[in-house]
Structure 1
Amino acid sequence: MAARSEPKALAAIQDIKSKVPNAKVEFIEMDLSSFSSVKKGVDDFLWETKLHVLLNNAGVFCLPYSKTAEGFEIQFGTNHMGHFLLTKLLLPTLISTAKACDPGTVRIVNVSSLAHNRTETITFDDMHDENGSKLANILHAKALSKRVKEHGIITMSLNPGIIHSGLWENMSGITSPMWEIAKYCFTTPEVGAYTNIFCSASPKVTMEDTGDYYVPVGVKGAGKMHKPSVAASDDELAEKLWEWSETEVAKHGY
Structure 2
Amino acid sequence: MRDPHHRRRVGARTTKTPEWSTADIPDQAGRTFVVTGANSGLGLATARALAAAGAHVVLAVRDTTRGAAAAAGIPGSTEVRRLDLADLASVRAFAGAWDRPLDVLINNAGVMNLPESRTADGFEMQFGTNHLGHFALTNLLLPHVSDRVVTLSSGLHRARGTRIRFDNLALDGEYTPAAAYSQSKLANLLFTLELQRRLEDAGSPVRALAAHPGWAATELQGHDANGVRRALMLFGNRFLAQDADGGALPTLYAAVADLPGASYAGPGGRLELRGAPALVDRSAAASDSDVARRLWDVSEQLTAVGFPAALPRR
Q: Which TM-score applies when normalising by structure 2?
A: 0.69
Long gaps (5+) in structure 1? 18-22, 99-105
> Residues 53 and 251 from structure 1, CA distance in 2 versus in 1: closer, same or farther, beyond 3 angstroms?
closer
Q: Within 2, Cα distance between the matches of 1:53 and 1:85?
A: 16
1:43 maps to 2:96: yes
How far the C-alpha of 1:8 sits from its partner, in A, is 2.3
Pick from 240, 244, 249 the counterpart of residue 189 of structure 1. 244
String of CA shifts for 1:103-142, please: whole Å, max 9, x gaps.
xxx0100100011011532011212241210000000000
The farther-off stretch of 128-137 and 52-61 is 128-137
Q: Within 2, Cα distance between the matches of 1:178 and 1:243?
A: 35
Bigger helix fraction: 1
1:163-242 alignment, distance < 5 Å:
163-171=216-224, 172=226, 173-174=228-229, 179-180=234-235, 182-203=237-258, 205=259, 209-218=260-269, 220-221=275-276, 223-242=277-296
1:51-70 alignment, distance < 5 Å:
51-70=102-121
Identity %: 33
String of CA shifts for 1:168-220, please: whole Å, max 9, x gaps.
112221475883355211111111111111110113x2xxx211212112455
- Secondary structure, counterpart of 2:74 in structure 1: helix
Q: Within 2, Cα distance between the matches of 1:55 and 1:216?
A: 18
| 1:12 alignment partner in structure 2 | 70
- Secondary structure, counterpart of 1:69 in structure 2: coil
Bigger strand fraction: 2
Opposite residue 227 of structure 1, the aligned amino acid is D
The CA RMSD over aligned residues, in Å, is 2.1
Opposite residue 169 of structure 1, the aligned amino acid is G
| 2:165 alignment partner in structure 1 | 123
> Residues 114 and 10 from structure 1, CA distance in 2 versus in 1: closer, same or farther, beyond 3 angstroms?
same
How far the C-alpha of 1:226 sits from its partner, in A, is 1.7
Pick from 11, 21, 26 the counterpart of residue 79 of structure 2. 26
Q: Within 2, Cα distance between the matches of 1:178 and 1:211?
A: 30
| 1:139 alignment partner in structure 2 | 190
How far the C-alpha of 1:251 sits from its partner, in A, is 8.4
- Secondary structure, counterpart of 1:193 in structure 2: helix
How far the C-alpha of 1:9 sits from its partner, in A, is 1.2
| 2:154 alignment partner in structure 1 | 113
> Residues 188 and 159 from structure 1, CA distance in 2 versus in 1: closer, same or farther, beyond 3 angstroms?
same
Opposite residue 222 of structure 2, the aligned amino acid is E
In the alignment of these two chains, the number of paired residues is 231
The farther-off stretch of 125-134 and 184-193 is 125-134
| 1:103 alignment partner in structure 2 | none
How far the C-alpha of 1:28 sits from its partner, in A, is 0.6
| 2:312 alignment partner in structure 1 | none
Long gaps (5+) in structure 2? 1-58, 172-178, 309-314
Q: Within 2, Cα distance between the matches of 1:84 and 1:146?
A: 15
Q: Which TM-score applies when normalising by structure 1?
A: 0.85
Opposite residue 197 of structure 1, the aligned amino acid is L
Q: Within 1, Cα distance between the matches of 2:94 and 2:63?
A: 13
